[in-house]
A and B are shown apart, each in its own frame.
Chain A
Amino acid sequence: MAILEVRRLSKSFGGLRAVDSVDLDVEEETITGLIGPNGSGKTTLFNMISGVVPRDSGEIWFEGERIDGLKPFEIYKKGIVRSFQIPRLFWKLTVLDNMLLAVRRFDGESFIGAIFRRWKWTAEEKHLVDKALEILDILGLSDSAFKPAYQLSGGQMKLLEIGRALMADPKLLLLDEPTAGVNPKLAYSIFGKIEDIRRAYGTTFFIIEHRVETLFSHADWVYVMSNGSLIYGGKPSGVISDSRVQKAYLGDIHAT
Chain B
Amino acid sequence: MPDPLIFAMHIAYRIGVYGIAALSLNIEYGYTGLSNFGKAAFLMVGAYTAAIAVENGLHPAIALLLSVMVSGGTGLSASLFALKFREDYLAITMLAFAEIARLILRNFDDSIRALIKFITGVESSINIFGGVHGKVVRSFISIPGDYRLYNIAQLGLVYGLLAVSYLFVKLLSDSPYGRILRAIREDELASQTLGKKTWVYKMQSISLGSMLAGLAGALSAQFEGYISPESFQPHLTFAIWMMVILGGVGNNLGVLLGAALVESIEAAALFVKSFLRYLPLDPVNIQWIFVGTSIIIIVAFKPKGLLEERPIKTPAVEVARLGYTRG
**Complex alpha-carbon distance, A20 and B136, angstroms:** 78
Given contacts A114-B178, A115-B171, A118-B171, contact A90 B187 (CB under 8 A): yes
On whether the beta carbons of B316 and A122 are closer than 8 Å, the reply is yes
**Complex alpha-carbon distance, A105 and B195, angstroms:** 10
**Complex alpha-carbon distance, A162 and B191, angstroms:** 16
On whether the beta carbons of B312 and A97 are closer than 8 Å, the reply is yes
**Complex alpha-carbon distance, A115 and B169, angstroms:** 9
A2 interface hit (Cβ, 8 Å): no
Residues of A contacting B314 in the complex (Cβ-Cβ under 8 angstroms): 108, 122, 125
Given contacts A73-B195, A100-B179, A114-B171, 16 further A-B contacts (CB under 8 A): A88-B193, A96-B320, A97-B182, A100-B317, A101-B196, A104-B195, A108-B314, A109-B176, A110-B177, A111-B208, A114-B175, A115-B172, A125-B316, A128-B316, A142-B324, A145-B320
Chain A residues numbered 180-235 whose CB sits less than 8 Å from any CB in chain B: none
Chain B contacts to A: CB under 8 angstroms: 168, 171-172, 175-180, 182-183, 186-187, 189-191, 193-196, 204, 208, 309, 311-312, 314-317, 319-321, 324
**Complex alpha-carbon distance, A112 and B51, angstroms:** 29
Q: How many A-B residue pairs have CB under 8 A?
A: 97
Residues of B contacting A76 in the complex (Cβ-Cβ under 8 angstroms): 195
The distance from the CB of B325 to the nearest CB of chain A, in whole angstroms, is: 9
On whether the beta carbons of A96 and B317 are closer than 8 Å, the reply is yes
Chain A interfacial residues counted at CB < 8 A: 36
Chain A contacts to B: CB under 8 angstroms: 73, 76, 88-94, 96-97, 100-102, 104-105, 108-111, 113-115, 118, 121-122, 125-126, 128-130, 133, 142, 145-146, 148
The distance from the CB of A126 to the nearest CB of chain B, in whole angstroms, is: 4
Residues of A contacting B311 in the complex (Cβ-Cβ under 8 angstroms): 93-94, 97, 146, 148
**Complex alpha-carbon distance, A101 and B168, angstroms:** 22
Residues of A contacting B196 in the complex (Cβ-Cβ under 8 angstroms): 101, 109
Residues of B contacting A128 in the complex (Cβ-Cβ under 8 angstroms): 316
On whether the beta carbons of A93 and B312 are closer than 8 Å, the reply is yes
The distance from the CB of A162 to the nearest CB of chain B, in whole angstroms, is: 15
Q: Would you give 8 A-B contacts (Cβ < 8 Å), ordered by A?
A: A90-B183, A90-B186, A92-B182, A108-B314, A125-B315, A126-B316, A142-B324, A146-B321
Partner of A126 from B182, B187, B319, B321 at Cβ < 8 Å: B319
Residues of A contacting B189 in the complex (Cβ-Cβ under 8 angstroms): 88
**Complex alpha-carbon distance, A142 and B323, angstroms:** 12
On whether the beta carbons of A109 and B195 are closer than 8 Å, the reply is no
**Complex alpha-carbon distance, A74 and B203, angstroms:** 26
Given contacts A73-B195, A146-B321, contact A115 B175 (CB under 8 A): yes
The distance from the CB of B323 to the nearest CB of chain A, in whole angstroms, is: 9
